[in-house]
Chain A
C-alpha cells in the first residue's frame, strides 16, 4: 500500500510539470475513446525466486482518452513453463488483471493521418497463478514504464504499439507451494512486463 501511494504521488508529480498549455495539448492528435486492444503479453512469473524469463500469452484492454491521458483496464492470461532458467518450479497458468494510466509525452506526426506516440505509463494489478500441482497463489503488483504507438488518426483509428514496464510484486504466498523448500535467497522482486499489440 505504501508503494502504491508513492506510485500515485510520483505519477502526479511527473505529469504535472510536464503538462503543456492548452495550445500544445491541442496539437496532439485526439486519443480514440473508447479504444479496444489485443496484445501478446510477457508477464513476470509470480514466483519468489527471481527468474530470467516470463510467461507468454494473449491480453485484452479497453481504454478511454482524457486529453493526453488514457485510462485503461487490462487483462492477460499466460503460460509459465515449469522450467524457468535454472530454476525449477511447478509451472502453470498465470492470469493478470489491472488498470493503467498513460500520459502522452511526445507525438510525431509525419502525415496528417498518422502519428508516432511516446507515452509514460503507471499501472497496478493483481496476478494469480494456477500451478500445475493444484496450488493457487496471488500477488498484487505496481509497474511503471513507457510505450511507443503508431496509430492512424483517420476514421479507421487502427494502431500498433509496444509497451515495457518495470513491475514490482508487492508480496507473494507462493514460496510454500511452489518452492517446496528449495528456493534460493530472493534477490529481486521486479520483473519486465512487456507487450506488443494492436488497437482500434
Chain B
C-alpha cells in the first residue's frame, strides 16, 4: 500500500514539471464522507493531492490521488487509496477587484482500493459535484504561481453498493 502511495505521488509530482508548457494547477484537499463497503455504510476521512489542466473553452481536466481512513462508530476499520479523474467547468462566477468568486460543476469517476478489517475491496465510482471557492488574482511579476484558489468541494458518488457523499476543503496553486 505504501508503495502504491509513493508511486502515485511521484507521478503527480512529475506532472508539476516546470517547462514551456503551462504546468497547470497543483493542490490538496482534506475531506470526509461515506462509502458503502460490504453492505455497510462506513465513514471516511481522506487526504488528497491533485493536478488540473485547462483543456479548452474553460473546461478543466483534473486527476486526484486520495488516501482514506475508514471508520464506524469511532472505531477505525481500515484504510485505502482512491484515484479519481474528472472534468470541471464554471457554472457561475463574479469578478471583483482582487477576487473571482466561482461555483464550478464537476463530473468524473475512479476507483478505490480499501482494506476493511483485513478484507480488500475494489470500489469503482462515478460522481457529480460542485466546487465553491475564489481565486486570488493579484500577484507579483515574479510570482511562480499566478493564482491561489481555496475551495469547498461537495460530491455525490454512485458505487455498486449504493450512493455516497464527500465534502472537503482544499486549495490549488495555479501555474
Whether A associates with B in a native complex is yes
Footprint of B on A, CB under 8 Å?
3, 6-7, 10-11, 13-15, 17-18, 20-21, 24, 27-28, 50-53, 85-87, 105-112, 116, 118, 120, 142, 144-146, 148, 164, 166, 168, 184-185, 187-188, 190-192
> A110, B136: Cβ atoms under 8 Å?
yes
**A112 CB contacts on chain B under 8 angstroms:** 140
Q: Name the CB-closest residue of B to A113.
A: B140
Segment of B25-33, B56-64, B85-93, B157-165 in the binding face: B25-33
Complexed CA–CA distance, A155 and B159 (Å): 53
* A50 CA / B42 CA spacing, docked (Å): 15
Query: Are A166 and B47 closer than 8 Å at their CB atoms?
Result: yes
B residues near A86, Cβ cutoff 8 Å: 73-75
Contact check, B143 vs A108: say whether CB atoms are below 8 A apart.
yes
Q: Does B156 contact A (CB under 8 A)?
A: no
Chain B residues with CB under 8 A of A187: 76-79, 115-118
A27 to B139, CA, bound (A): 12
- List A contacts of B74 (CB < 8 A): 52-53, 85-86
Give a binary string over B137-154; 1 marks a CB under 8 Å from any A CB, 0 the rest.
011101111111000000
A51 with B6: CB separation less than 8 A: no
| Pair A108/B76 contact, Cβ less than 8 Å | no
Contact in complex: A14, B10 (CB < 8 Å):
yes
Contact A108 B118 (CB under 8 A): no
Q: Size class of B's contact patch?
A: 35 or more
> How many angstroms from the CA of A105 to the CA of B175 in the assembled complex?
11
Given contacts A53-B74, A116-B173, contact A18 B115 (CB under 8 A): no
Which residues of chain B from 99 to 119 have any CB-CB distance to chain A below 8 Å in the complex?
A: 115-118
In the complex, what distance in Å separates the CA atom of A192 from the CA atom of B5?
14
Cα(A59)–Cα(B13), bound, Å: 28
CA of A97 to CA of B80, assembled, Å? 26
CA distance A6 to B136 in the complex (A): 38
Q: Does B54 contact A (CB under 8 A)?
A: no
Question: Are A28's CB and B144's CB within 8 A?
Answer: yes
In the complex, 23 of the A-B residue pairs with CB atoms within 8 angstroms, ordered by the A residue number, are A10-B3, A14-B9, A18-B18, A28-B144, A52-B74, A52-B75, A53-B74, A86-B73, A87-B75, A105-B13, A105-B26, A107-B145, A108-B136, A109-B140, A109-B145, A118-B27, A120-B49, A144-B6, A164-B30, A164-B47, A168-B2, A190-B69, A192-B45
